[in-house]
Structure 1
Amino acid sequence: MKPLPFRSVPAATHRWRTDGLACPTVTADAARAVGVAGPGRLTESTDLSAAGNTITCLWAPAGRAESVTLSLDTSTSQAAADIAWQTRSALLREAVPGVGEQAFTGVLGNEIQVLVRSGNATLNVTVVAKPDDPEGLSSLRAAAPAIAGAMLGSLIPA
């Protein structure tokens, strides 16, 4: 197995609020097309005001998907956000152009993951396709970057 390459961190072009995080309502056409549109349900939240915050949101059942999960991490420190990005994105190798400052995707079994960096925020979107549905997996894989981009649009500037 090849060693993982060192990934450079793009310059932060945004600064997002770290308090008052809420699950977005996804309205993107790509989300509607696969049955993932609507409000997310908060399943977990940490409020570490001095360091940043994390929320986890769930959409389920979700049309062709069994579920869609968003884990949104924000950091009050850009340096901490940069280190977290390098660590979390290291295993994903397929770049997703046009989403955030940098984004990567990958598939493991019936799970599609899209990891997006935008300033001091990292969005980890996981779309779980129904088992034994290769057409569903294919359509969800095509829609996942647009869904992640729509979720990115819910962040509030600092």
Structure 2
Amino acid sequence: DVRAALLEGGPDLLAVVAHGRHNGGAVYLELAPGEVLPLADMLAARPPRRLALVCCWGGAPPGDIPADPVSFGLVALLRGSHEVLSCLDELADTAEATMLVNRILHRLDRLPLPEAVRDASENLFKHPALRTQALYHWAPLVCLGAYTEGDAR
């Protein structure tokens, strides 16, 4: 259960692929059809040490409307996560974004989150067509938090 793993702890590493949405400035995750997780529910959470939030608005509130001043990623750090991967914008539903996310997720078992993002990004930047596209649309993923050399193990 993703909700329980986010709120009550669980595995050391959790990857959540969900829809991030906002309603009148309130950000929430749509974990499954009809199952939402409001940001307020995270305020008492015990999230995993390493958390990958692959969802729109996971790392920052929408910039075009008044919104919650914090994000799922920041609250996860405040509640105990050491590393958080999250999105600063909407994550495009494109082949490029899917390739990037898949490359990152396949590296998480052996690399800290920042290294997984760097490795996957460098690999994709070798493709000339991707080098000219706006990054914010297909690669708005950032890492929050700190890690030490032994954290990936």
Give the TM-score normalised by structure 1. Answer: 0.30
Query: If each structure's strand is expressed as a fraction of its own residues, which one has the higher value?
Result: 1
If asked which structure has higher relative contact order (CA below 8 Å, sep 6+), I would say 1
Query: If each structure's helix is expressed as a fraction of its own residues, which one has the higher value?
Result: 2
